[in-house]
């Protein structure tokens, strides 16, 4: 062979190359590697290249697509020689290639299928400087460290790296074996300056070393945990063997079993309960601790063991002491206090009676507007009885499982609130408060109100069955206190099981006493003030009650007191800080103690300064001061209220318009009132019938956004209409309530106590009531009735004689 024929293959590369698109990473020059090709177009390119000179161009795809064109490829790629080709059964080929040189695409000769391009070959730049030599040593040294700590680097890779003599190819080889993103590899492929290329590769090596350090640390931590768990396991097994040899059995399961057995045996169960408990204990003893059934059984036994199955401790009653506690905690509420004392007396007699089964529970329902003290009464009852207290609210509850529990077949099953409460208080005769019973809902999950029927029925609750417990449990000794704002939404069967005690709203004198005894001291303490720092006059407290908190309860009264005391606290702190700034630290040390606390005398002027102008001005008393007006009384769930009925006539077509958001019953009542008033106007007062043909009547009740309903405004609307027809103003200081029939009878109404309190707040002197409600006056305290004259009537004529005399 002649010397002229020995030409390096890199110098014989063609300037026109068929291109193969690479889906994965780019391939660097100086590498011998296999490539799998499955795309039919690329297979065709390989076949043509093998039949020709064997050269192809390898270029990475920039935009991945099934049918790439030259526009989808990067501009820089690698020229390669196909050494061997193996056809595969699926139609693809496995080629062994030797990559030679970088090239850049100069011009597209064929855009797609196959892609052919004119190329220019690229040479390395700055590849023999001292810096490059130093970088070469650094790269090899760093890669040795990586390869020693990484089992993925084979011995062959290490030898190849050492045997490469060109710095640029060393960088290319290292990049091809590092775990680098393909776009970063493409950028390095496009760097022709060897020094810059090696610097960039060194950065990636450092990142790889950091990842390896983190990997080693994580691996070390995992190994330590595994070693510790294995060590703990072997030690526990050895300890278990030693205890077995010594006859000691103190593992968690056997310890729980013994604890449950001792506790449950002490209860001396009988019948169904004994049989079920023994079965569950045996199941618990035989079940593996790792099984799900073990936890279910353990939780079940824990609930049974935590319930108060034994008889309660003997009771010692002192009626005088109990009455004293109730009087000290609440002002007024005579019905509630009397009922509790009666209950105590009954319990005492039943306890002392020979052969008695012991005291029984009671179920009372406290009904009243918000803020009158229903919930706090429950705590006072428990304190006066010397019993444990447990409260839960059923407002918004829609799932009966909250009351009777979930069945044990469900994951996360729990007993209901009744059993949970008994487990907490650990006694069979506590005081249970069920709050907001009128606000329960119903859904596809059940009706909680129906679930309460068994709980609150003395004939059933001696053997109450919770779904979770599924054993009879006696809850008949529980004193149930139920609270509600209204009875309308409580189902009648549930209402029938409770003793109803109404808590009406408070009048201003009662609010005054409550504020002096309870609200003011409580609010002062809450806001960091001493009792001596704020003194209220009687007039100032009445001003808050009438001007800012004209409601049935005292909740807004307390909020207003809190607002005043917060502002006083702020004023005190600001004054102290200003005083410190004036005197300085040295003088403050020499004073020998703190200055006397600032005191405030709170009068009307100071109240209006802190609370603003009254929400209910003194002149805001509802009056009937012109023809066509009358004042009636209404009952709401917030307490009693006064209503002004307004009637007016305008020329026009005969008829009547009703406004003020009246309900259907009230509209019917208005129609009856119109008929009665029209009849009396024509027959008794000489109003011409033709007047009604030419005038349209309009009845309105102010506060139109508030819904109003019920028949008790019948006589009030008829009075307003007759006042309009006659052009006369009704007698002053009169308010009224009563249903009107079409024959002129005045029928009884409800809520007289709350209505009387509302009339007193409105400073009325006379109240017209149905005669059949006379019996209800006995339930109204004398201090509420004081200064008010009641006028019982049977017929509407009597109302007219009082309020619109001829």
Burial class (CB in 10 A: 0-12, 13-18, 19+), 488: exposed
Q: Is 1 a residue whose pLDDT tops 50?
A: no
Q: What is the pLDDT of residues 754-796, one digit of tens each?
A: 888 888 888 889 999 999 999 988 878 888 888 899 999 999 9
Q: Is 331 a residue whose pLDDT tops 50?
A: yes
pLDDT tier for residue 591 given thresholds of 50, 70 and 90: very low
Q: What angle do CA 776, 782, 787 make, to 5 degrees?
A: 105
Share of the chain above pLDDT 90, in %: 15
> Residue 161's pLDDT is what?
61
Mean pLDDT of 213-222: 84
Mean pLDDT of 726-739: 91
**What distance in Å separates the CA atoms of residue 31 and residue 19, rounded to the nearest whole number?**
18
263 is catalytic: no
**What distance in Å separates the CA atoms of residue 366 and residue 497, rounded to the nearest whole number?**
13
* pTM as predicted: 0.60
Q: Is 53 a residue whose pLDDT tops 70?
A: yes
User: Does an H or E element contain 263, and which?
Assistant: helix 252-266
Q: Taken in order 580, 582, 585, 587, is the CA torsion positive or negative?
A: negative
pLDDT tier for residue 3 given thresholds of 50, 70 and 90: very low
- The radius of gyration of the chain's CA atoms, rounded to the nearest angstrom, is 47
Nearest to 184 by CA among 194, 165, 197: 197
> Residue 2's pLDDT is what?
42
Choosing from 384, 669, 712, 723, the catalytic residue is 712
Q: What is the pLDDT of residues 71-80, one digit of tens each?
A: 888 889 999 8
Long-range CB pairs of 80-88, under 8 A, 24+ apart, other chains included: 80/27, 80/55, 80/56, 81/9, 81/54, 81/55, 82/46, 82/49, 82/50, 82/54, 82/55, 82/56, 83/32, 83/54, 85/46, 85/47, 85/50, 88/36
Q: Is 653 a residue whose pLDDT tops 60?
A: yes
Share of the chain above pLDDT 70, in %: 91
Q: What is the mean pLDDT of the chain?
A: 83
> Residue 590's pLDDT is what?
47
712 is catalytic: yes
Choosing from 755, 765, 785, 786, the catalytic residue is 755
Mean pLDDT of 22-40: 85
**What distance in Å separates the CA atoms of residue 319 and residue 643, rounded to the nearest whole number?**
44
Q: Is 641 a residue whose pLDDT tops 60?
A: yes
Q: Is 434 a residue whose pLDDT tops 80?
A: yes
> Residue 199's pLDDT is what?
83
Q: What is the pLDDT of residues 447-482, one digit of tens each?
A: 888 888 888 888 888 888 888 988 998 888 888 999
pLDDT tier for residue 632 given thresholds of 50, 70 and 90: very high
Q: What is the pLDDT of residues 239-281, one digit of tens each?
A: 777 777 776 655 566 677 888 888 888 888 888 888 988 888 8
> Residue 625's pLDDT is what?
86
pLDDT tier for residue 627 given thresholds of 50, 70 and 90: very high
* Residue bearing the bigger pLDDT, 179 or 624: 624
* Residue bearing the bigger pLDDT, 666 or 289: 666
Q: Is 721 a residue whose pLDDT tops 90?
A: yes
> Residue 313's pLDDT is what?
75
> Residue 384's pLDDT is what?
83
Mean pLDDT of 741-749: 92
Q: What is the pLDDT of residues 364-403, one digit of tens each?
A: 888 888 888 888 888 888 888 888 899 988 888 888 888 8
Q: What is the pLDDT of residues 490-541, one digit of tens each?
A: 888 888 888 888 887 787 778 888 888 889 999 999 988 888 888 888 888 8
């Amino acid at each position: 062979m002649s010397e002229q024929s020995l030409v390096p293959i890199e110098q014989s590369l063609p300037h026109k190359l068929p291109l193969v698109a690479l889906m994965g990473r780019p391939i660097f020059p100086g590498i011998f590697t296999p490539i799998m090709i499955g795309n039919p177009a690329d297979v065709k390119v390989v076949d043509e290249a093998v039949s020709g000179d064997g050269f192809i161009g390898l270029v990475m795809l920039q935009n991945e697509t099934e049918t790439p064109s030259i526009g989808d490829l990067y501009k820089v790629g690698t020229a390669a020689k196909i050494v061997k080709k193996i056809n595969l059964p699926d139609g693809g080929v496995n080629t062994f290639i030797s990559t030679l040189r970088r090239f850049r695409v100069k011009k597209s000769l064929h855009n797609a299928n196959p892609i052919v391009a004119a190329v220019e070959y690229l040479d390395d730049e700055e590849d023999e400087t001292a810096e490059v030599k130093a970088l070469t040593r650094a790269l090899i040294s760093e890669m040795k460290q990586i390869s020693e700590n990484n089992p993925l680097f084979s011995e062959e890779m290490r030898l190849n790296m050492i045997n490469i003599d060109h710095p640029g190819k060393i960088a290319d080889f290292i990049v091809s074996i590092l775990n680098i993103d393909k776009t970063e590899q493409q950028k390095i492929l496009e760097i022709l300056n060897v020094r810059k290329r090696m610097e960039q590769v060194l950065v990636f090596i450092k990142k790889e070393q950091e990842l390896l350090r983190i990997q080693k640390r994580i691996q070390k931590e995992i190994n330590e945990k595994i070693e510790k768990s294995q060590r703990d396991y072997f030690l526990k097994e050895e300890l278990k063997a030693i205890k077995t040899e010594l006859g000691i059995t103190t593992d968690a399961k056997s310890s729980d079993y013994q604890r449950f057995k001792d506790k449950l045996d002490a209860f001396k169960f009988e019948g169904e309960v004994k049989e079920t408990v023994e079965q569950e204990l045996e199941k618990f003893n035989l079940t593996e601790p790792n099984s799900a059934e073990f936890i279910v059984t353990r939780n079940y036994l824990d609930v049974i063991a935590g319930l108060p199955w034994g008889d309660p401790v003997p009771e010692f009653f002192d009626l005088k002491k109990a009455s004293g506690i109730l009087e000290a905690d609440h002002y007024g509420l005579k019905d509630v206090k009397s009922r509790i004392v009666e209950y105590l007396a009954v319990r005492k007699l039943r306890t002392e009676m020979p052969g008695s089964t012991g005291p029984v529970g009671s179920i009372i329902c406290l009904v009243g507007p918000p803020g009158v003290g229903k919930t706090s009464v429950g705590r006072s009852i428990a304190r006066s009885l010397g019993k444990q207290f447990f409260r839960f609210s059923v407002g918004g509850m829609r799932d009966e499982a909250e009351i009777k529990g979930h069945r044990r077949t469900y994951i996360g099953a729990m007993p209901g609130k009744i059993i949970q409460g008994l487990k907490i208080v650990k006694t069979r005769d506590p005081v249970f408060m069920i709050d907001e019973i009128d606000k329960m809902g119903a859904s596809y999950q059940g009706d909680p109100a129906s679930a309460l029927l068994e709980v609150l029925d003395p004939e059933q609750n001696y053997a109450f069955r919770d779904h979770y417990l599924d054993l009879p449990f006696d809850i008949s000794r529980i004193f149930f206190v139920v609270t509600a704002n209204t009875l309308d939404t409580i189902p009648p069967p549930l209402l029938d099981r409770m003793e109803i005690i109404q808590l009406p709203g408070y009048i201003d004198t009662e609010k005054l006493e409550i504020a002096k005894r309870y609200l003011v001291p409580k609010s002062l303490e809450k806001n960091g003030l001493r009792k001596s720092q704020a003194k209220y006059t009687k007039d100032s407290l009445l001003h808050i009650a009438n001007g800012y908190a004209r409601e049935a309860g005292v909740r807004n009264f307390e909020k207003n007191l809190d607002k005043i005391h917060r502002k006083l606290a702020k004023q005190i702190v600001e004054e102290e800080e200003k005083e410190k700034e004036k005197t300085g630290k040295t003088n403050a040390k020499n004073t020998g103690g703190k200055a006397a606390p600032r005191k405030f005398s709170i009068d009307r002027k100071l109240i209006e300064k802190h609370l603003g102008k009254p929400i209910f001005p003194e002149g805001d008393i509802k009056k009937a001061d012109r023809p066509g007006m009358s004042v009636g009384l209404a009952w709401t769930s917030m307490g009693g209220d006064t209503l002004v009925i307004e009637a007016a006539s305008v020329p026009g077509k005969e008829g009547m318009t009703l406004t003020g958001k009246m309900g259907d019953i009230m509209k019917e009542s208005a129609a009856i009132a119109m008929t009665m008033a029209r009849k009396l106007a024509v027959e008794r007062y000489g109003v011409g019938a033709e007047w009604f043909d030419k005038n349209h009547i309009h009845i309105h009740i102010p506060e139109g956004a508030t819904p109003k309903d019920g028949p008790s405004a019948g006589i009030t609307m008829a009075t307003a209409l007759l006042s309009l027809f006659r052009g006369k103003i009704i007698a002053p200081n009169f308010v009224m309530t009563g249903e009107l029939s079409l024959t002129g009878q005045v029928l009884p109404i409800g809520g007289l106590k709350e209505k009387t309190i509302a009339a007193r707040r409105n400073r009325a002197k006379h109240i017209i009531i149905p005669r059949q409600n006379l019996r209800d006056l006995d339930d109204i305290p004398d201090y509420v009735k004081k200064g008010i004259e009641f006028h019982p009537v049977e017929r509407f004529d009597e109302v007219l004689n009082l309020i619109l005399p001829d």
